[in-house]
Structures are given as C-alpha cells and as structure tokens.
Amino acid sequence: MKNSENLENILKNYEDNDKSLLNLDKLLNSGTLGGTGKLVIYPVDQGFEHGPDRSFSSNPDAYDPHYHMQFAIDAGMSAFAAPLGMIESGTKTFSDKIPLILKCNSSNSLTNLSDQALTGNVDDAIRLNCIGVGFTIYPGSEFNLKLIEQACNLFRKAKSAGLITVLWSYPRGKMSKKGETAINIVSYAAHMACLCGAHIIKVKLPTSYLEEDPTKDSFIKNNININNLSERVKVIKRSCFNGKRIVVFSGGEAKNDEEIINEIKAIQEGGGNGSIVGRNCFQRPYNKAIDLIKQIINIYKQ
C-alpha cells in the first residue's frame, strides 16, 4: 500500500469537521514519519508532572524550552506537546517549523490528588498557533468523572475551532499501582478516550497482569491473547474502535536503548500508530537522544 493510501484510510475513519481533519492531515504529514500513518510526538510536561530537577538535572540544557523544540525538529519528530508557559516561550520561533499541541491540564507531584488543573484552553491554543490540544484523564480516580467532562468540553470547543484533540488516558486511583498498566484496565481507559472524541489516544504500554475488576473475566472467558507486548498492543488497538483510532504509547521512565527499541518493535508489530517519548529523550545527551529517535523512526517506517 502506498503511504498516501495508508493516510487516506486513517483519515477516512474520522467523520467530524473538515478543518480538524486538515490539521490531522498536517500532523500526519510532518516530520520524518510524514505520510506513513505513524507518529512520534515529543511531550515536555514532566517539569509540571514530576518537577524540573527530577526531570532535567541529568541534562541541564533541558531546563530551556528552546532546547526541546529544537530537539524535536532536529530529531524529525511529528509534533511537540507542552503546557502553556513552555509553548509561549517558543511559539514565535518554532510554530512554523513543527506542529505544536497545547497540553491544557496538568498535575504535579507535590500533591497526592489524582487530579489535574486546567492550565490552558482553546483560545490559548489558537493564539499560540497550535494545531491541537492535549488533555489528561485519570480513569478510576475520584476526580475521573469531572476530568472526563472537562475533556469533552475542551474537545467540543477545539473541534469547532478546527483543532485536533489528543487524550492522555492514564488509569489511576481506585486500582492497585500494578493495575494502572494492567491490560484489562488500559483497554478500558483507551476505549473511554475514543468515546470522549479524541482524535489521538495516548496510553501507557499494558502489562499482562489482569487487575481484579469486573472486566477481568471477559479476558479469561474469551481467551484473549495477552502473552506478549505486540498482542497487547493489538488488544488496545481493537478496543479503540476496532483499529479506527490513532493510538500512541508513552515512553515512560528513562530506560536503556535496547529496552525501548524492543518496546517500539512490539508497538509496530501490534499495529500501534507510534509513540510519545519525553524522558527517554531529554534524560539522554542530545546526540544520543537524536540517535535513539532515528532508530525508533526507522522501525516505524518498516
């Protein structure tokens, strides 16, 4: 199949307004993976989520927002996603060079609450020349219903303004720590993200663990294959409208090249659409990170 046909097939699965789809098309045609239907997005909201020193002190250049935007361009990434202040500090220099996604809510690790504060909106995204908005929900947390409503409200406005929508769907709260990445829970969270109307769904890579939950039995009764990572990626893609939504997987904590490359191969084999990789880039020296992203891109090109 030619790349252009592949892209057409992906876009055909969305039947909402044409202006958002133009931006989705723009995203899917940017960076080194442009035209392949695959994406590698660079998120830098960890300063908010985990704190600046935990995030950047192993590579102090990464305290500078321009470092990240230039990195995303040099690495051939598809887009750059970040909260308000970071986008504001680079949009004039970079918004015509790489698609920007405004992350519109954020959490922080100084609180124990599994909640997020609203930190951006559609007007900000337009003012800052972004192609889309990003949002996080925590399915299972005591605040999940409010977060879901906020996501839907933001997405409604974003789509009227012709922006694309990306939903980080991270189970948290009610289940055990192990349960946050259990396949039955991640599958549920990914499907909810589709139902919120996200164009792009972002989840963590699921483990083979089945959390004690009413969803567990259907995996056992129906013999759903969850034995290896690529099979689990297939399960997630299937729960996202039978493969009709773009699903990307997060990179997670910094790990060695071999570990991350094996994960990327499994995502590719399972039919995932790509990755959102933050810490595994900026917690490596610049050239090593460029090298890693190039290897990742080559796998997604295959």
Of residues 42, 67, 138, 170, which has the active-site annotation?
Answer: 170
Q: Which helix (H) or strand (E) holds 257?
A: helix 257-269
Span from 62-70, 187-195, 245-253, 293-301 in contact with ligand FBP (CB under 6 A): 245-253
Q: Does 234 bind ligand FBP (CB under 6 A)?
A: no
Query: Is position 67 annotated as part of the catalytic site?
Result: no
Q: Does 276 bind ligand FBP (CB under 6 A)?
A: yes
For residue 168, the minimal CB distance to ligand FBP (Å) is 5
Q: Does 181 bind ligand FBP (CB under 6 A)?
A: no
Task: Give the interface size with ligand FBP as a residue count (CB under 6 A).
Answer: 14
Q: Does 278 bind ligand FBP (CB under 6 A)?
A: yes
CA distance linking residue 146 with residue 241, whole number of Å: 24
CA distance linking residue 248 with residue 67, whole number of Å: 24
Sequence-distant (≥ 6) Cβ neighbours of residue 178 within 8 angstroms: 207, 209, 211
For residue 18, the minimal CB distance to ligand FBP (Å) is 29
For residue 202, the minimal CB distance to ligand FBP (Å) is 7
Query: Is position 202 annotated as part of the catalytic site?
Result: yes
Encoded one letter per residue, x for contact with ligand FBP by CB under 6 A and - for no contact, window 35-74 reads --------x-xx--x-------------------------
Closest CA to 230 of 258, 198, 205, 201: 205
Given the DSSP bridges, would you call strands 246-250 and 200-203 parallel, antiparallel or unpaired?
parallel
**Ranges assigned E (strand) in the chain:** 39-43, 79-83, 100-103, 105-106, 117-118, 132-137, 164-169, 200-203, 246-250, 274-276
Separation in Å, CA 198 to CA 24, 165, 202, 271: 12, 5, 9, 18
Encoded one letter per residue, x for contact with ligand FBP by CB under 6 A and - for no contact, window 117-156 reads ----------------------------------------
For residue 80, the minimal CB distance to ligand FBP (Å) is 12
CA distance linking residue 98 with residue 31, whole number of Å: 8
Structure tokens at 178: 């192990």
Angle between helices 18-28 and 3-12 (to 10 degrees): 150
Span from 185-193, 250-258, 262-270, 285-293 in contact with ligand FBP (CB under 6 A): 250-258
For ligand FBP, the closer of residues 30 and 280 by Cβ is 280
- Where on the chain is the footprint of ligand FBP (CB under 6 A)? 43, 45-46, 49, 168, 170, 250-252, 276-280
Q: Give catalytic residue positions.
A: 170, 202
